[in-house]
Amino acid sequence: MTKTIRGVFAGVSDPEGVPLVSVSEESHDIRPAMGELAELIRDRKGSKPLVILTGEVHDVATHVLLPQIAMQSARAANPDFKIAHGIERSHNLLDLLLRDRDPREVAGELSLAQAYMMYEHPQGAPVTRRNVMDYCIRHGIPVQAVDTAGSPDGDGYLDQREPSTRALVSLHAPELLDTEIPGGKAEGIRLRNIMALNRIKTLISESGADVCVVPYGGAHLLGWKYMADMDEGPFPSEDSLGKLLHDDPDVDVMILFSNHPKFGTEKIPEDVDAGLLGETVVIDGLSPQNFWQKPENAAEVNADLGLKEGAFLREMARQSGGALEISDEVQHMAAYEPDVIVDSPADWGEGRRYET
């Protein structure tokens, strides 16, 4: 029987009916959590496609892995479910990855997942992201990027030169046409959420998916109380991607919220309505170990970090009795034994586990 949380969530003390799924103390064994998620997915999957929205701190390996955990849990819930995967990247990512390639090196027509494995080099938990892509390729799960177009030079602004992103701004924020719209501030987040909703629904329609798993950062899920570092007030729940999915008549949504020092439930606005809160599942006990590749680092430093990340995933798989699928690439990475693989949730310090 899945527990419900006890504590303060979204400004509500002891909120009723919010499930709590916990990874065991002193363990990276995710089998119990996967079993509980499979049960929740089985219970919540009705006649509509189910969108599973997972939150993440972008360089925390267990957060980046959570979409794969959700996909594996969905397959355990019902092996006949058709699954799709949307990612929080510019929806024209495939074009961006292939635009400067010599046609002679691009063999045939590549899917986004295949092109990602060949040409993408993300900074946040890159080995884990590749593991998720490999999982999708091996199981025939279609992958699409669902965000607005970001500026190709990586300056963090929406790219209004891209036609569909410009059309989005024209329709929903015409006063911002031809101005710089930061993707990480309130107006940019609001527009990105609208685009993501439309792209997710298109992905579901084109793939015939029963379950679509989509990871996004903190402010997108349920709103965000603290944006002080951006000189802004709270990002309202009503503009969150979770709320847009909750209100959409064509889909159902389950929100997996990973409790984490940078991503704590106390940062959720108090205005989350009961219906949206009822779509939420809190995941507690996932390791906060982060892996961030710095482009200015020497190649051997990044390689060393990659080996540590690969070892972390192998240890999770080992403690999970092989239930967590890892790629051949991760399996065959050079042996490395970082201290992190023997840590335990009880020793993390900053994190706070809910009482159950």
Contact between 174 and 184 (Cβ < 8 Å) = no
Beta bridge partners of 253: 51
Q: Which H or E run contains 72?
A: helix 61-77
pLDDT, residue 250, reads: 98
Higher pLDDT, 335 or 176: 176
Cα torsion 279, 271, 200, 88 to 10°: value is -110
Instruction: Supply the pTM of this predicted model.
Output: 0.91
Q: What is the C-alpha radius of gyration for the chain, rounded to an integer number of angstroms? A: 20
**For range 70-83, the mean pLDDT:** 98
Please report the sign of the dihedral spanned by the C-alpha atoms of residue 122, residue 123, residue 127, residue 131: negative
- Provide the 10 A C-beta neighbour count for residue 169: 23
Spatial distance between the Cα atoms of 323 and 335, rounded to a whole number of angstroms: 21
In the numeric block, the tokens 């998720």 are attached to 132
**Angle at CA 276, nearest 5°, toward 273 and 69?**
150
* Residues 6+ positions from 243 with CB-CB distance below 8 Å: 222, 223, 237, 273, 276
Mean pLDDT of the chain, nearest integer: 87
Q: Which of 195, 166, 163, 202 is nearest to 181 (CA)?
A: 166
Spatial distance between the Cα atoms of 282 and 22, rounded to a whole number of angstroms: 8
3-state secondary structure of 91: coil
Contact between 234 and 226 (Cβ < 8 Å) = yes
pLDDT in tens, 202-255: 999 999 999 999 999 888 999 988 776 667 778 899 999 999 999 999 999 999
Residue type for position 156? G
**For range 24-48, the mean pLDDT:** 92
Give percent of the chain above pLDDT 70. 85
pLDDT at 342 over 70: no
pLDDT at 352 over 60: no
Higher pLDDT, 54 or 260: 54
Contact between 286 and 23 (Cβ < 8 Å) = yes
**For range 88-105, the mean pLDDT:** 86
pLDDT, residue 19, reads: 85
Contact between 204 and 49 (Cβ < 8 Å) = yes
Strand ranges inside the chain, DSSP E = 3-4, 8-9, 12-13, 19-22, 50-56, 83-90, 143-147, 211-217, 252-258, 280-284
* Residues 6+ positions from 44 with CB-CB distance below 8 Å: 50, 252, 254
